[in-house]
Chain A
Amino acid sequence: MKRRAREAIAGYAFSLPILVSVAVFTVIPIVQAFYYSFTDYDALKQQIFNATVDKVMAVGMYLGLLPEEVKVDQALKSFDPASFVESMIGTSISKKLKRILRKYFDSKKLLQDYASGRLSGESKIGNFIREYLKNGGRYFEKYRPDIIGLKNFKWMIKDEYFWIALKNSFIFALVVTPIQTFLALILAVAANSRVRGVSFFKTSFFIPAITSSAAISMIFMLLYSKPGFINRTLSLFGIQPVDWLNNPSTALPAVMAMNIWTTAGYFMVTFLAGLQNIPQSIIEAAIIDGADGWTRFWKITLPLLKPQITFVVTMGVIGTLQVFDQIYFLIKSQENTTMSMYIYQNAFRYGKMGYASALALIFFLIILSITLIQRKFMERGLEAM
């Protein structure tokens, strides 16, 4: 009993560090991202209540009158606290905040203070508003994104770029994954046919995979340029030079080809390990039965590689759907953007973190369902063999 309790304590203590890090950097962020995706979270608005204003200047700019020119009763008639706050902040505020301001803001006191010269000094906008707010001051303490329900998702349906990005991500995965898997398989079979120098081949195939995609992108930027190596080589076969990366119709295929090049050799190693595990006796038995090379490959080798194929395809789909570095470096036109890039741009270039979170959420659901469908489909397909 005592031993079991001690073991349980040790178990918790051992797993605590990783659990904490997963909670802080994965689980809580997922919940937050979920919440963000239903808001209009705008990174640029994060500081609206923290900005400092000169109080006299703020009121003066809004009224267009100097303190001595103000007649409080008259000015009060046309004074709208909501639009005053908007002019001070410099951007629009939510309907809810406007309602609170119109209900609880002491416009009279502010105008009196301004007219009598009692108003002075600098203050944070949030504090300034709260000074004259009879109620609801907590809404002006710090920026809270507005909960806007499904608006982000509705906008997504209308957002042309979302569809373009989604389409491109799909094309990327659908083209790259099968080709790289097939190529890796061919290479593995070739390497498994008792040739010499397998370790040399393995190493040279592996180098692209251990090179950072940033470095690879730079190398291919050189190779793909219009008077570059690839066009020059192709011209030997009479092919006209193409401006691969600058032309939106060839840029994505060029990056896809590069991606296949980086990963095929890598996955070949996975297949090779699988092939080497196939007992020689099975192959020999098949040879005795008179099966030719082709039949042996389809009827014996492939079914036995089932786990490796599933693995390579799954990793391939997940990896290609999320490709980012290559897109960042090599893709110029927005027409060739992918989901990962589009999420990044929205969040960090435009500051639209609410929308970006919604995009990320949808993207996740899509990846999840694809993986599940594919797993089902592949299992059936491979069993049929």
Chain B
Amino acid sequence: MKAIAYIILLIYAILSLTPFIWAFLVSTAPVSYGGKSVDIMQWPPQISLFRIPPLVFGAPATLKNYALVFHEVPYARWFLNTLIYAGLTTLGHLVLDSFGGYAFARLNFPGKNLIFTFLLSLMMIPVYVTIIPVYNLMVKYNLVNTYWGLFLPKLTGVFGLFFMRQFFYSLPKEMEESAMIDGAGVLTRFFRIALPMSKPALIALSIYIFLGSWNDFLWPLIITSDKSMFTLTMGLNFFRTTYYTFWQLMMAATIMMTLPMVIIFLVFQRYFVETGITSGLKG
């Protein structure tokens, strides 16, 4: 029984990792070697990793392509744009969702339940319904191709709000109640008691939002029109021209944009599981 389990898991682990390993191998193949272009489609591939330098596709492996990516396209700029986009979106959501989440979890105000139910019902609306009017709004206020246009409309999701509300809801009430008896106001309770206790949730939410915007493609595709405003996902297309696909560079760029997310994930993995935010990272 256990053996079968191991086999299943191993096969799937190989399936999961092979595409990335292959992409990495391709990214280390020089574009040309010995006066001829390196054929990354060759079969069987001449690969031998146990020598120095390793041999990939019949040529010595190199990391030059990674440097070349920065040279061929404004990769550094796209990296920065993506960082700004993901960073601002994350920051915005942290503020909006923690304040909002606290209000809906702990504070009583008329119409609260009605508003909350209404907000929840919005979760079902596909982005394609709102994207056209939102785009026109951006056009109207001249925000197309700006950082504002990129991240502002992204602050509207209610998932984070719902998540933070659930988290605050699950926190023990006693501390806040005793603070209230001591005369602490809402702000004190929120900043001094609730927020410090919700560190795991805030971290999980940050990663969730950051990852989502880092990998986002549709909105940058619509709202950015200038090369200098592109994000990394947009930039990938640059290695594919009508006449030629620069596989080595494309794979290098792909690996470089994936690696930071993998590292972040590995470091903060436990928060994902602890808070159960893994609800709908991707469809």
Residues of chain A whose beta carbon lies under 8 Å from any beta carbon of chain B: 4, 6-12, 14-15, 17-19, 21-22, 24-30, 32-33, 36, 186-187, 189-191, 193-195, 200-201, 203-216, 218-223, 225, 227-229, 232, 261-266, 269-270, 273, 293, 311, 315-316, 318-325, 328-329, 339-340, 343-344, 347-348, 353, 356-357, 360-361, 363-364, 367-368, 371
**Could you tell me if A207 and B217 are in contact, using CB atoms closer than 8 angstroms?**
no
In the assembled complex, B281 has its CB within 8 A of some CB on chain A: yes
Chain A: CB-nearest residue to B1: A193
Contacting pair B112 A11 (CB below 8 A): yes
* Assembled-state Cα–Cα distance A264/B43 (Å): 30
CB of A270 within 8 A of CB of B278, answer yes
Given contacts A25-B152, A218-B236, contact A195 B103 (CB under 8 A): no
- Knowing A187-B12, A227-B43, the reply to whether A343 touches B128 (Cβ < 8 A) is yes
B145 to chain A, nearest CB (A): 14
Chain A positions within 8 Å of B186 at CB level: 6-7, 10, 14
CA distance A316 to B279 in the complex (A): 11
- Can you offer 30 A-B residue contacts whose CB atoms are under 8 A? A6-B185, A8-B109, A10-B186, A14-B100, A14-B103, A15-B104, A18-B97, A25-B134, A28-B133, A29-B133, A29-B134, A30-B125, A30-B133, A189-B5, A203-B269, A205-B16, A209-B281, A212-B232, A215-B257, A218-B250, A219-B22, A227-B41, A265-B12, A269-B278, A273-B276, A324-B217, A347-B131, A360-B129, A361-B129, A364-B129
Please determine whether A7 and B130 come into contact, CB atoms closer than 8 angstroms.
Answer: no
Name the residue on A nearest B160 (C-beta): A18
Q: Is B67 interfacial (CB-CB < 8 Å)?
A: no
Q: Told that A218-B251, A225-B41, A263-B282 touch, could you supply 8 new A-B pairs with CB distance under 8 A?
A: A22-B156, A25-B156, A189-B5, A232-B43, A261-B16, A315-B283, A364-B125, A367-B124
Interface residues of B in 223-251 (CB under 8 A from A): 232-234, 236-237, 239-240, 245, 247, 250-251
5 residue pairs, one from A and one from B, having the closest CB atoms = A319-B283, A212-B215, A11-B109, A14-B103, A11-B107
Q: Which of B6, B135, B236 contacts A214 (CB 8 A)?
A: B236
Task: Chain B residues near A347: list those with CB within 8 A.
Answer: 131-132, 135
| B115 contacts partner chain A, Cβ-Cβ < 8 Å | yes
Of B68-76, B169-177, B197-205, B260-268, the stretch lying at the interface with chain A is B260-268
Are A265 and B251 closer than 8 Å at their CB atoms?
Answer: no
Could you count the A-B residue pairs with CB atoms below 8 Å apart for me: how many are there? 271
**Contact partner, A212, options B119, B214, B221, B280, Cβ 8 Å:** B214
Is B179 in contact with chain A by the CB < 8 A criterion? no
Determine if B80 is an interface residue (Cβ-Cβ < 8 Å): no
Chain B contacts to A: CB under 8 angstroms: 1-2, 4-6, 8-9, 12-13, 15-17, 19-20, 22-23, 26, 41, 43, 95-97, 99-100, 102-104, 107-110, 112, 115, 119, 122, 124-137, 152-153, 155-156, 158, 161, 185-187, 190, 211, 214-218, 221-222, 232-234, 236-237, 239-240, 245, 247, 250-251, 254, 257-258, 261-262, 265-266, 269, 273, 276, 278-283
Q: Are A30 and B129 in contact (CB under 8 A)?
A: yes
Cβ contact within 8 Å between A266 and B278: yes
Chain B residues, CB < 8 A from A324: 217-218
Q: Measured between C-beta atoms, what is the minimum distance from B163 to chain A in Å? A: 12
Contacts of A210 in B (CB 8 A): 211, 215, 261-262, 265, 281
Bound-state CA distance A4–B180 (Å) is: 12
* Interface SS of chain B: helix
Looking at chain A's contact residues, is the secondary structure mostly helix, strand, loop, or mixed?
A: helix
In the complex, what distance in Å separates the CA atom of A205 from the CA atom of B14? 9
Whole-angstrom distance between the alpha carbons of A99 and B191 in the complex?
64
Beta-carbon contact of B283 and A318 below 8 Å: yes
Contact partner of A340 (CB less than 8 A), chosen from B128, B135, B211, is: B128
Q: Is the CB of B110 within 8 A of A8?
A: yes
Query: By the criterion CB–CB under 8 Å, are A319 and B282 in contact?
Result: yes
Residues of chain B lying within 8 A (CB to CB) of residue A266: 278, 281-282
Chain B hits for A36, CB < 8 A: 132-133
Most buried by B among A19, A190, A195: A190
Residues of B within 8 A of A223 (CB): 19, 22
Known A29-B137, A206-B265, A215-B257; contact A229-B22, beta-carbon cutoff 8 A: yes
Q: Kindly state the separation between the CA atoms of A210 and B267 in the bound complex, as whole angstroms.
A: 13
Min C-beta distance of A255 to chain B, whole Å? 13
Chain A, residue nearest B187 (CB): A10
Query: Is A15 a contact of B282 with CB atoms below 8 Å?
Result: no
Q: CA A35 – CA B280 in complex, angstroms? A: 30
Q: Do B5 and A191 touch across chains, with their CB atoms under 8 A apart?
A: yes
Cα distance A14–B247 in the bound complex, in angstroms? 50
Chain A nearest CB from B34 CB (Å) reads 21
Q: Which residues of B contact A323 (CB under 8 A)?
A: 283
The residue that A322 contacts in the complex, of B2, B8, B126, with Cβ under 8 A, is B126
Chain A residues within 8 Å of B96, by CB: 17-18, 21
